[in-house]
């Protein structure tokens, strides 16, 4: 079996309804909207043939519509969609549903069948819930979000739900657990939706910068694997290394926590507008947002600093000089993004990683020409690119010019071959 496409995580937003009003809800106010069968069917037809490392079932509160979850799982089986594992987050305020329990049992058998067909597939993604969040190893996990200021959960109800599904689904590959029990990455507040509105209650007057996050997933998260005879499953495969969410109204967005308002204002696209070109549309989004993940994370850190500055929130352990450095990085990231956007049409045969490298080389060469001190250039390379510490000293003006010319030549050769 060989896969032309790989997704680290596909999230399906079952509903935008919810029976809670969490202070920190990144999605914002609940809406009376459930996903339709048409949107599910369309999504599955677009991703058929792709290897989906993790399927995430989300909301709103997905357990408000167990019937839709069952429809989704049954359709995945019927259409033979390749999924490695499944995670579902719930607030846990429900009694058990026997139809859903039966569906999950059937689905677990399907996941085992897929595994035996595809063989043991190496996890290429840096996203999988078992490593990112928890020490558990599951094929199907239900995580009960029982933590967070303003969550207001009933422990008895949560425990009853755990008991119900644990007894109904007696399978080693099934886990149901509280988020508070085993999760590694807790404590960061995403300033989005209700959390942004309620920031005073959540943050107070001072914060460490790594405790807050401004959500912006507009970066290039796709890549192509090389020919690799040792990895037959992912040979010339197109990798999507960021969670993509199909929301309840069909709007597709990167990540899984964006507020409904932002998703609907500026989606990547709507799944119903796809015509077997889902991955082309994802690719176009990445060309329009060509910076790498490291640069994106620094841009987001600066956005969080700006948020605090405007709201009068003190950032702990941060000096004026740190702020100036991040401001400079933000400016350089904007330049890098503009260069990458501008050169892609001129070098259309180069892939994302190659355009990224050329854009950085052009930027750094420009900085040398403007006599920007080397320590600032090195700081940019260290913080915003994947040049390792051993390579940064080698990035001289001569190296930049040689690198740029070699890829201009490569583009010419590829253009020639394509004729
Ligand atoms: S965080 Fe989850 S449970 Fe809380 S209001 Fe938002 S969707 Fe509902």
Residue 186 reports pLDDT greater than 60: no
Token digits of residue 287: 């060309």
pLDDT at 128: 47
φ/ψ of residue 167, rounded to 5: -75, -40
pLDDT at 126: 39
Q: Please state, in angstroms and as integers, the Cα–Cα distance from residue 216 to each residue in 257, 259, 262, 298, 307, following that order.
A: 10, 11, 11, 11, 14
Atom index in ligand 1 nearest the CA of residue 21 equals 5
pLDDT at 146: 82
Question: 22 C-alpha vs ligand 1 centroid, how far in Å?
Answer: 5
Residue of 255, 143, 146, 133 lying closest to 186 (CA atoms): 133
pLDDT at 120: 53
Query: Which range is least confidently modeled, 13-27, 218-232, 316-330, 404-418?
Result: 218-232
Residue with the smallest CA separation from ligand 1 atom 6 is 25
Kindly report, residue by residue over 192-201, the tens digit of the pLDDT. 999 999 999 8
φ/ψ of residue 19, rounded to 5: -100, 15
pLDDT at 125: 41
Pocket test for ligand 1, best of 19, 57, 58, 59 (most atoms within 8 A of CB): 59
Question: 246 C-alpha vs ligand 1 centroid, how far in Å?
Answer: 17
User: How do 269-270 and 251-254 pair as beta strands?
Assistant: antiparallel
Token digits of residue 403: 């690198």
Pocket test for ligand 1, best of 26, 31, 60 (most atoms within 8 A of CB): 60
Task: Say how many residues make up the chain.
Answer: 419
User: How do 206-207 and 174-178 pair as beta strands?
Assistant: unpaired
Question: 382 C-alpha vs ligand 1 centroid, how far in Å?
Answer: 37
Confidence of residue 224 (pLDDT cuts 50, 70, 90): confident
Kindly report, residue by residue over 369-418, the tens digit of the pLDDT. 999 999 999 999 999 999 999 999 999 999 999 999 999 999 999 999 99
Question: 211 C-alpha vs ligand 1 centroid, how far in Å?
Answer: 20
Kindly report, residue by residue over 56-73, the tens digit of the pLDDT. 999 999 999 999 999 999
| Structure-model confidence comparison of residues 336 and 419, the more confident one | 336
pLDDT at 229: 60
pLDDT at 74: 98
What is the 8-class DSSP label of residue 314? E
Alpha-carbon gap, residue 237 to 133, rounded angstroms: 27
Kindly report, residue by residue over 336-382, the tens digit of the pLDDT. 999 999 999 999 999 999 999 999 999 999 999 999 999 999 999 99
The alpha helices in 96-220, defined as continuous H runs, are 98-118, 129-132, 155-168, 179-182, 194-197, 199-203
Confidence of residue 2 (pLDDT cuts 50, 70, 90): confident
Token digits of residue 288: 């329009």
pLDDT at 225: 73
Place of tokens 């001072």: 206
Pocket test for ligand 1, best of 18, 58, 153, 190 (most atoms within 8 A of CB): 18
Across the chain, mean pLDDT equals 91
pLDDT at 153: 76
Segment 125-148 shows an average pLDDT of 67
Residue 124 reports pLDDT greater than 50: no
Contact by Cβ (8 Å): 180, 162: no
Kindly report, residue by residue over 241-264, the tens digit of the pLDDT. 999 999 999 999 999 999 999 999
Residue with the smallest CA separation from ligand 1 atom 7 is 60
């Amino acid at each position: 079996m060989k896969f032309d496409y790989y997704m680290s995580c596909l999230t399906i937003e079952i509903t935008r309804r919810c029976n809670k009003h969490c202070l920190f809800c990144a999605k914002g106010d609940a809406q009376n909207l459930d996903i339709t069968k048409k949107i599910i069917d369309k999504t599955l037809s677009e991703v058929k043939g792709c290897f989906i490392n993790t399927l995430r079932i989300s909301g709103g509160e997905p357990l408000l519509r167990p019937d839709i979850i069952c429809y989704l799982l049954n359709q995945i089986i019927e259409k033979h969609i390749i999924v490695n594992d499944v995670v579902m987050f719930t607030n846990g305020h429900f009694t058990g549903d026997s139809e859903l329990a039966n569906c999950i049992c059937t689905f677990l058998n399907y996941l085992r069948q897929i595994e035996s067909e595809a063989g043991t597939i190496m996890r290429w993604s840096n996203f999988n819930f078992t490593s990112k969040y928890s020490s558990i190893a599951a094929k199907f996990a239900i995580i009960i979000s029982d933590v967070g200021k303003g969550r207001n959960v009933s422990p008895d109800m949560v425990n009853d739900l755990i008991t119900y599904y644990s007894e109904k689904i007696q399978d080693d590959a099934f886990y149901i657990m509280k988020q508070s029990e085993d999760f590694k990455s807790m404590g960061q507040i995403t300033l989005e939706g209700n959390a942004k509105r309620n920031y005073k209650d959540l943050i107070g007057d001072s914060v460490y910068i790594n405790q807050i996050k401004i959500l912006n997933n507009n970066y290039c998260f796709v890549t192509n694997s090389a020919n690799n005879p040792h990895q037959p499953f992912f040979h010339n495969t197109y990798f999507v290394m960021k969670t993509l969410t199909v929301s309840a109204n069909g709007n597709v967005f990167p990540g899984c926590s964006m507020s409904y308002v932002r998703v609907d204002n500026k989606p990547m696209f709507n799944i119903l507008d796809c015509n077997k070109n889902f991955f082309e549309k994802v690719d176009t989004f990445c060309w329009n947002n060509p910076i790498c993940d490291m640069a994106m994370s620094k841009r987001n850190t600066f956005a969080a600093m700006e948020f605090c500055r405007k709201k009068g929130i003190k950032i702990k352990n941060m000096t004026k000089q740190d702020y100036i450095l991040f401001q400079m990085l933000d400016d350089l990231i904007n330049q890098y993004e503009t260069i990458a956007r501008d050169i892609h049409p001129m070098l259309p045969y180069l892939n994302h990683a190659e355009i990224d490298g050329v854009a950085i080389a052009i930027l750094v060469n420009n900085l040398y020409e403007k006599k920007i001190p080397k320590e600032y250039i090195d700081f940019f390379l260290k913080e915003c690119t994947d040049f390792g510490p051993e390579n940064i000293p080698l990035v001289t003006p001569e190296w930049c010019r040689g690198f740029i010319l070699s890829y201009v030549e490569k583009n010419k050769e590829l253009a020639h071959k394509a004729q």
